């Protein structure tokens, strides 16, 4: 079981690496989305520092959303998804493998790029590590929830936009606690509660999303 | 609340109370009317299709109309 | 689940529920009429909010129905997915627009009610914000169920979304409440007044009952229309395949 | 006790009843060829056998165990070749095949099983070529080579001969013959005749017609 799990993760990583563009595109979108804000809100450091955590989190959310549509779509179109559903391993495990591969190609690069953008937005220094920690705990949940949306839109007429409409409401709890973790760290308050809740959201999404995504995939193959 | 005009005035909040009730009425009646209209339209099309199927091949399948 | 069930079952459901429709209609109008009469004429004004408290009689029932419809969508989704009951998906798809209308009404009347108190049309109050997110969940459900050529495929996909969404509603509610207390604006007058005066309770209950009956009334009509549309598609498809 | 049976199957896809009351039996070494006009449900029946699609009525059994009870084990017993070739253009032919060989049959001896499979379909020379350069026929052979890349008693092939030249069809026929001789079994839906001694043919037309008659009756009710 684990061997086939890592087999699929390795294949997806090799595909992403061969295609190359994916994670680079996502990080570029993330950077551009954040850099736009000073032009909109004005360069005044005080304002930027105040909204830095929120801007970075919202941009991370949208960047994750960008790459989710193709999570199952390429496999669905070339027939691999059918064969994955027919492999001697439960589909839920394979969905989890796809989510981890997705997180490694999008979530991780975002976490690496985030502190750089925090500097651009003049975020207070002691918010950096908390930002990385919160993103590290939040982005897997985003990938898990996004996988459900990606599975549900297979075979639909309007994929991309529909996916964001379905999934964004479910992202809101992660956004709220992710930003509040960073803000209260900057404000010097305790951040244990936020991290516990972010962890809780992740543990909650871990079993629910592969089940729902697998059910969605099975329906798309009917 | 004896005179009509003071009732309609709603203690100065007329501009909020009546639009709320009005909007509720409009939307609820609206969705009801739309639903009934689609129901009637679907039944009409089904009857038309059934009659057409009957005329086209009266021998095929039992001939009975839509209730 | 026997094959015959796929077609006969909806017909059995329709023959059972069709005669109900006029009764349901009558009861709805009766309870709404009584509720409106009591709410507008008999019930006292609120000493703080004055007459504007009467908006409560359309706002609170709409908010209840918004949640009630989403719950019934989640239940019919579960029944449809677990027992593969064909009518469950029909019920879910028929409920969604009605639920969306109730949610929109709750938002609109909430903002109309809030304007005189807070001076702005929209306040990021915890309940209104949760209602707004619920509205997006409805729109997502309806968009997904219509995004497929095959309506049944859409209904099934939307059912999974309704289930996942329903499980997330308490989490969203909890996080929005937390978020709201974090950024607590100075004074927020409670939406439904300091305490419900008994004479205010009756119209509220009657309106809530009226709204629920209205939902059931429109639900049966919409399900009947959807089953008939299914038959039309089947007839047309059979013509294609000869 | 026949190995692989389907009893009184009814298949519904979307809102259309594709066929009703269909039964089949297949034993070790057997070959079942599905024939019938387009839309009579050949592909649907193959997907039912594979477990991608669940029957609205009736059941498919492997040694009287319903295949729905333990889908993973059933998946381990079969290879399904559908209309799509399931090949990643960025990966080479060997990488594509080794992935499916390991996914289906585990790592043990995957490399030489893949080499055997390529030889079987005469495309060893393509082994290191990225799949995006393959022609339709070559991708089809690569996709078919997957069934040799790891052992499975039941082969479900949906129109395997599309885009294959005569020589490839001959290769496929001999491979199926060897598979049957070794106790394997195959179900093939095809329009071009496939030779195989002792092959049974299942014509789906009557079952598709039964579905229409049923739909006439109930739709008008």
Mean pLDDT computed over every residue of chain D: 87
Q: Does A25 touch chain D (CB under 8 A)?
A: no
For CA atoms D178, A4, A65, A20, give the dihedral sign: negative
The DSSP 8-state label assigned to residue C19 in this structure reads: T
Chains C and D form CB pairs within 8 A to the count of 45
Of A194, A212, A152, A188, nearest in space to A57 by CA: A194
Band of pLDDT at residue B67, cut at 50, 70 and 90: very low
Q: Establish whether chain B is in contact with chain A, requiring a minimum of 3 CB pairs below 8 angstroms.
A: no
**Cα separations in angstroms, A73 against A30, A70, A150, A218, C47:** 22, 5, 8, 14, 59
Task: Collect all residues of chain C within an 8 Å Cβ-Cβ radius of residue A208.
Answer: 164, 167
Chain-chain contact of A82 with D87 (C-beta, under 8 angstroms): no
All structural domains of chain D, each given as residue ranges with its CATH number in brackets, are 1-77+153-221 (3.40.50.300), 86-151 (no CATH)
CB contacts under 8 A, A 92-151 vs D, are none
Task: Collect all residues of chain A within an 8 Å Cβ-Cβ radius of residue D84.
Answer: 77-79, 82
What's the per-residue H, E or C state across C156-223? HHHHHHHHHHHHHHHHHHHHHHHHHHHCCCCCCCCCCCCCCCHHHHHHHHHHHHHHHHHHHHHHHHHH
**Cα separations in angstroms, A140 against A135, C188, D117:** 9, 36, 39
Chain-chain contact of C105 with B36 (C-beta, under 8 angstroms): no
Q: Is the pLDDT of residue B66 over 60?
A: no
Rounded Cα distance between A164 and A65, Å, is 7
Chain-chain contact of D219 with C7 (C-beta, under 8 angstroms): yes
Contacts of C83 (CB under 8 A, 6+ apart): C1
Query: How many Cβ atoms from other residues are within 10 Å of residue D195's Cβ?
Result: 10
Helix H or strand E segment including C48: none
D213, D217, D220 member nearest B50 (Cβ)? D220
The DSSP 8-state label assigned to residue C54 in this structure reads: G
pLDDT per residue over C181-215, tens digit each? 877 654 444 554 445 677 788 889 999 999 999 99
With CA atoms as reference, the chain D residue closest to C230 would be D15
The DSSP 8-state label assigned to residue B26 in this structure reads: H
Q: Is the pLDDT of residue D14 over 60?
A: yes
With CA atoms as reference, the chain B residue closest to D221 would be B66
Q: Which residue has the tokens 């691999």?
A: A80
Q: Does C52 touch chain B (CB under 8 A)?
A: yes
Task: Collect all residues of chain A within an 8 Å Cβ-Cβ radius of residue D53.
Answer: 221-222
Q: Which residue has the tokens 């990021």?
A: C124
Average pLDDT of the residues in C63-71: 95
Q: Is the pLDDT of residue D92 over 80?
A: yes
Exposure string of A57-77, with b = 16+ CB inside 10 Å and e = fewer, is bbbbbbbbbbbbbbbbbebbe
Rounded Cα distance between D204 and D18, Å, is 10
Average pLDDT of the residues in C169-182: 89
Band of pLDDT at residue D154, cut at 50, 70 and 90: very high
Chain-chain contact of A83 with D73 (C-beta, under 8 angstroms): no
Q: Does C120 touch chain B (CB under 8 A)?
A: no
Q: B61: distance to nearest CA of chain D, Å?
A: 6
Q: Is the pLDDT of residue D221 over 60?
A: no
Q: C153: distance to nearest CA of chain D, Å?
A: 7
What's the per-residue H, E or C state across chain A? CHHHHHHHHHHHHHHHHHHCHHHHHHHHHHHHHHHHHHHHHCCCHHHHHHHHHHHHHHHHHHHHHHHHCHHHHHHHHHCHHHHHHCCCCCHHHHHHHHHHHHHHHHHHHHHHHHHHHHHHCCCCHHHHHHHHHHHHHHHHHHHHHHHHHHHHCCCCCCHHHHHHHHHHHHHHHHHHHHHHHHHHHHCCCCCHHHHHHHHHHHHHHHHHHHHHHHHHHHHHCC
Band of pLDDT at residue C30, cut at 50, 70 and 90: very high
What's the per-residue H, E or C state across chain D? CCCEEEEEEEEEECCEEEEEEEEEEECCCCEEEEECCCCCCHHHHHHHHHCCCCCCEEEEEECCEECCCCHHHHHHHEEEECCCCCCCCCCEHHHHHHHHHHHHHCCCCHHHHHHHHHHHCCCHHHCCCEHHHCCHHHHHHHHHHHHHHCCCCEEEEECCCCCCCHHHHHHHHHHHHHHHHCCCEEEEECCCCCCCCCCEEEECHHHHHHHHHHHHHHHHC
pLDDT per residue over D23-73, tens digit each? 999 988 889 999 888 878 899 999 999 999 989 889 999 988 888 888 889
Helix H or strand E segment including C44: none
Q: A20: distance to nearest CA of chain C, Å?
A: 31
Q: Is B67 helix (H, G, I), strand (E, B) or coil?
A: coil
Per-residue pLDDT of chain A (222 residues; tens, 9 = 90+): 788 889 989 988 888 888 767 788 899 999 999 999 999 999 999 999 999 999 999 999 999 998 898 889 999 999 999 999 999 889 999 999 999 999 999 999 999 999 999 999 988 888 899 999 999 999 999 999 999 999 999 988 877 789 999 999 999 999 999 999 999 999 888 999 999 999 999 999 999 999 999 999 999 998
CB contacts under 8 A, B 7-66 vs D, are 50, 53, 60-62, 64, 66
Q: Tell me the backbone φ, ψ of residue C122, rounded to 5 degrees.
A: -130, 130
pLDDT per residue over B12-24, tens digit each? 788 888 899 999 9
Chain-chain contact of C234 with D15 (C-beta, under 8 angstroms): yes
Q: Which of C121, C135, C217, C221 to mutate to test the interface with B (most CBs of B within 10 A)?
A: C221
Do the beta carbons of residue D52 and residue A86 sit within 8 Å?
yes
Q: D50: distance to nearest CA of chain C, Å?
A: 20
**pLDDT at residue A27 in the model:** 93
**pLDDT at residue B60 in the model:** 45
Q: Is C50 helix (H, G, I), strand (E, B) or coil?
A: strand
With CA atoms as reference, the chain D residue closest to B63 would be D220
Contacts of D194 (CB under 8 A, 6+ apart): D33, D161, D169, D172, D173, D176, D188
Mean pLDDT computed over every residue of chain C: 86
Question: What are the boundaries of each domain within chain A?
Answer: 2-221
**pLDDT at residue C125 in the model:** 84
Q: Does A216 touch chain C (CB under 8 A)?
A: yes
Do the beta carbons of residue D86 and residue D143 sit within 8 Å?
yes
Of A131, A107, A138, A110, nearest in space to A191 by CA: A131
Rounded Cα distance between C126 and A40, Å, is 28
Rounded Cα distance between C198 and C187, Å, is 26
Average pLDDT of the residues in C34-38: 89
Chain-chain contact of B35 with C62 (C-beta, under 8 angstroms): no
Distance separating the N- and C-terminal Cα atoms of chain D:
41
């Amino acid at each position: 079981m684990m061997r086939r799990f890592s087999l699929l993760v390795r294949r997806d990583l090799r595909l992403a690496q061969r295609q190359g563009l994916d994670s680079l595109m996502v990080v570029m979108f993330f950077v551009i989305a954040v850099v736009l804000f000073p032009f909109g809100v004005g360069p005044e450091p005080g304002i930027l520092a105040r909204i830095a955590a929120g801007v970075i989190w919202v941009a991370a959310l949208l960047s994750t959303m960008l790459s989710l549509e193709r999570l199952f779509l390429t496999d669905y179109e070339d027939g691999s998804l059918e064969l994955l559903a027919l492999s001697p391993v439960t589909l839920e495990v394979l969905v989890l493998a796809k989510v981890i591969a997705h997180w490694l190609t999008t979530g991780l690069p975002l976490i690496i790029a985030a502190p750089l953008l925090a500097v651009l937005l003049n975020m207070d220094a002691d918010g950096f590590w908390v930002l990385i920690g919160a993103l590290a705990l939040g982005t897997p949940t985003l990938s898990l929830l996004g996988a459900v949306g990606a599975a549900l839109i297979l075979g639909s007429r309007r994929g991309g936009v529909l996916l964001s409409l379905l999934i964004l409401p479910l992202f809101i709890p992660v956004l709220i606690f992710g930003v509040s973790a960073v803000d209260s760290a900057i404000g010097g308050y305790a951040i244990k509660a936020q991290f516990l809740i972010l962890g809780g959201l992740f543990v909650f999404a871990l079993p629910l999303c592969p089940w729902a995504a697998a059910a969605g995939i099975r329906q798309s193959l009917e | 609340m004896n005179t009509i005009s003071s009732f309609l005035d709603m203690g100065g909040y007329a501009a909020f109370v009546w639009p709320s009730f009005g909007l509720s009425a409009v939307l609820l009646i609206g969705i009801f009317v739309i639903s009934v209209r689609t129901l009637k339209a679907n039944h009409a099309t089904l009857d038309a299709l059934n009659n057409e199927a009957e005329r086209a091949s009266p021998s095929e399948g039992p001939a009975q109309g839509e209730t | 689940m026997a094959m015959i069930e796929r077609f006969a079952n909806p017909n059995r459901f329709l023959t059972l529920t069709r005669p109900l429709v006029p009764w349901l209609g009558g009861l709805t109008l009766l309870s709404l009429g009584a509720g409106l009469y009591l709410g507008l004429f008999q019930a006292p004004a609120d000493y703080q909010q004055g007459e504007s408290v009467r908006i409560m009689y359309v706002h609170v029932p709409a908010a209840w129905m918004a949640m009630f419809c989403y719950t019934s969508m989640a239940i019919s989704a579960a029944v449809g997915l677990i027992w593969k009951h064909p009518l469950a998906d029909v019920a879910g798809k028929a409920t969604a627009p009605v639920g969306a209308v109730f949610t929109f009404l709750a938002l609109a009347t909430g903002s109309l009610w809030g304007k005189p108190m807070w001076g702005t049309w929209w306040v990021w109050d915890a309940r209104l914000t949760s209602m707004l997110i619920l509205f997006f969940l409805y729109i997502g459900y309806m968009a997904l169920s219509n995004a497929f050529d095959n309506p049944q495929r859409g209904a099934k996909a939307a059912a999974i979304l309704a289930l996942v969404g329903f499980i997330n509603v308490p989490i969203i509610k909890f996080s929005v409440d937390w978020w709201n207390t974090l950024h607590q604006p100075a004074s927020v007058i409670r939406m439904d007044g300091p305490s419900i005066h008994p004479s205010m309770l009756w119209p509220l209950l009657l309106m809530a009952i009226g709204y629920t009956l209205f939902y059931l009334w429109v639900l049966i009509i919409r399900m009947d229309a959807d089953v008939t549309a299914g038959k039309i598609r089947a007839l047309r498809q059979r013509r294609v395949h000869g | 006790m026949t190995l692989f049976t389907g009893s009184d199957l009814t298949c519904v896809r979307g809102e259309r009843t594709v066929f009703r009351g269909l039964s089949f039996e297949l034993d070790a070494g057997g070959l079942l060829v599905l024939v019938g006009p387009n839309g009579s449900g050949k592909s649907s029946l193959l997907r039912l056998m594979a477990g991608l699609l669940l029957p609205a009525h009736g059941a498919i059994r492997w040694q009287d165990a319903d295949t729905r009870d333990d889908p993973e084990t059933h998946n381990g017993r079969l290879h399904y070749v559908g209309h799509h070739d399931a090949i990643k253009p960025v990966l080479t032919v060997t990488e594509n095949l080794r992935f499916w060989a390991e996914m289906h049959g585990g790592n043990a001896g995957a490399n030489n099983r893949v080499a055997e499979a390529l030889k079987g379909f005469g495309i060893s020379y393509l082994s290191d070529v990225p799949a995006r350069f393959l022609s339709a026929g070559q991708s089809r052979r690569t996709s078919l080579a997957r069934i040799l890349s790891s052992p499975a008693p039941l082969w479900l092939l949906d129109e395997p001969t599309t885009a294959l030249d005569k020589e490839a069809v001959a290769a496929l026929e001999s491979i199926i013959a060897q598979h049957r001789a070794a106790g394997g079994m195959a179900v093939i839906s095809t329009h071009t005749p496939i030779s195989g001694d002792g092959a049974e043919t299942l014509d789906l037309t009557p079952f598709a017609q039964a579905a229409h008659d049923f739909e006439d009756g109930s739709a008008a009710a």
